[in-house]
Structure 1
Amino acid sequence: MGKMSDGDILIPVLTVLIAAFGVLMVYSASSYTAEATYGDAFFFAKKQLLGFVLGTVGMIAVSFFPYTKLQKLKWAALGVSVVLLAVLFIPGVGKENYGATRWINLGPLTIQPSEIAKYGFVIFAASYMSEKPERMKTFVGMLPVLGAGGGICLLVILEPNMSITMCIGLLMIAMLFLGGAKFKNFLFILIPALLAVPVLIAMEPYRLKRLYAFIDPWASPQGEGYQLIQSLYALGNGGWFGVGLFHSRQKYRFLPFAESDFILSVIGEEFGFIGVVILFAVSGLLIYCGIRTAARSKDLFGFLTASGITLVYAIQVVINALVVSGSIPPTGLPLPLISSGNTALIFTMMSMGILFNISKRKGKASPD
């Protein structure tokens, strides 16, 4: 297993720092809305703090759990992911919010299965591809990974949740490439995936409206363009150095989902352009640590698992930043480790614990 000092200590340190900053920003972004809605300014912050504590405990625990044993759990990881996603469609179990059923209702607690499924797919794909790497050279050999990723994407898009669907789709394509898929077989997946995006957008009227709002948000300033306009107001108001912690104006119910999908807008308003650059420098350093861990891994399973975990984090950070800045059409995707959401926070921190675990085995051959 190795000692804590054997691994890349930057991984857990940066994870805790970003997540702790997330708790602070969730309070800042949500305090007014929480007070007005629930009579408790700390309503969202307390939930985020609980997720932070549980996530830290989980991260420490998996840091001492030999990651190679996860290879034997590939079917369990995939099965749990699929079952949890399917359970959402049982009447009375799935919790609907804003027209989407994305959470399992457990009384005072809720679980978002799609956040678990991302890592379940990583474990399954990494295990399958590392067992017999040569089979990834054939299209037939790729089918189990395609089936697993495609099945998860199908269940997630039915919630509906296009943003997470696209993240998992990008993750699947990237992992197939890293797993050794031949270029010609790779194209058989990439081309249909690219063609599917406009089809999925056209299938739902609200997605078309979001696309129009992205092209010209001022065409519907009180409708679909409202959120993007308010996000740009927040970023613009922040200037170079921000208006100061807790002094955001857009969080006063001007900016929807200020504590979750658009929390980066509040960060930009309170800490300015310089603050956002520092945040992404720290996030970029964590991504670099993940890439370095994957590159130094001496076994294929460790390489693919580390790559998958790093990809999950990196894809969401990049997409969230592009959405908030108006660079791509709006989509409901949280900023990992920072946005409000216990399931995402806990499992992201635990995944970083696995990444740290892999970093402890650099330069060592994996046991049989």
Structure 2
Amino acid sequence: MSNDQEARWLDAWYGGKRWVFWLLPLEGLFRVISFVRRAFIRRFRQKKLPVPVIVVGNLSVGGTGKTPVIIALVNHLQTRGFKVGVVSRGYGSRAPEYPYVVTAASSAEQAGDEPLSIWRATGCAVCIDANRVAAARTLVQSGCTVLLSDDGLQHYRLGRDIEIAVLDAARGMGNGHCLPVGPLREAQARLQEVDFVVANQTQLDGEVAVAPGAYHMRLQPRHWFRVKNLERLALDAVPSGSRVHAVAGIGNPQRFFDTLARLNLAPQPHIYPDHHAFTAANFSFNTRLPVVMTSKDAVKCQSFAKPDWLALEVEAVIDKKFWPALDAALSALSGSQQVTAKGSNL
């Protein structure tokens, strides 16, 4: 899908355009197929694993901030002594084989941008496969004691013990309809079934209630790093007031541009589709300005990056009340799964 086509659909879903309602019969068909598929898989094909599985996903199409949430979860669970593994579909990856475990030698082309970003940020085991069950079993066999499934809410073959839905508070649910009339993969009522809702408030000045009991979260800049060699730099490495070429191939690029503006930078936006396979030609700009990008995009540009290209590392800062609630949910599993930080009896 081209940028113009994607923008047209997003404008229809989130901007209240009426022409999409001609597609209501297709939405009805989508809902029926989704309901039957989910019921069948959960009843006959879902596979449970001997370790806790936490799925992190969303209801809507596009970026909501799941990857930073995954990284925050990994860091938290690691401090508790768990050996964490992350399961990912590896969208756009071309691994030599599947399941594929990400290593220091992995390229973005092999692993995909999000899995490689997660591995670089946490050092935890990351395994990619369209067959998430196979990836999860690989991680369990390697000794992982808790698994996170990235963007796994609708992948029902992999059994789950805890579900976390991440919402974009600025965009909300759009027009509230499922595909193709609206941006939702499942009906809004699905939120009542998940264990936790995390609402990304990054683009809002205040906090907006998007679902009962939702925990608020913001993405905060941590540091810059050089795309070429990953050298970390302080946030003031790009002087306040600088005009920059801001490159983004993510689900919600405006969030990145807004973050740059809050750093008192003046971004000149260059928007590409989510998971875009960047080449050096994408950076042939008419004006000489500093080039900045997201950490997710940086993993795909390292091989041809110039020494002064920078990427912004952000972290998900989640409501402090979320963490003890998550720990309590994990502890509650111990009665049936004998969950321990060291993974005994698993």
Common fold, TM-score beyond 0.5?
no
* Shorter-chain TM-score tier: under 0.3
The structure carrying a bigger helix percent of its residues is: 1
**Which structure would you say has the larger RCO, counting Cα contacts within 8 Å and 6 or more residues apart?**
1
TM-score by length of 1: 0.22
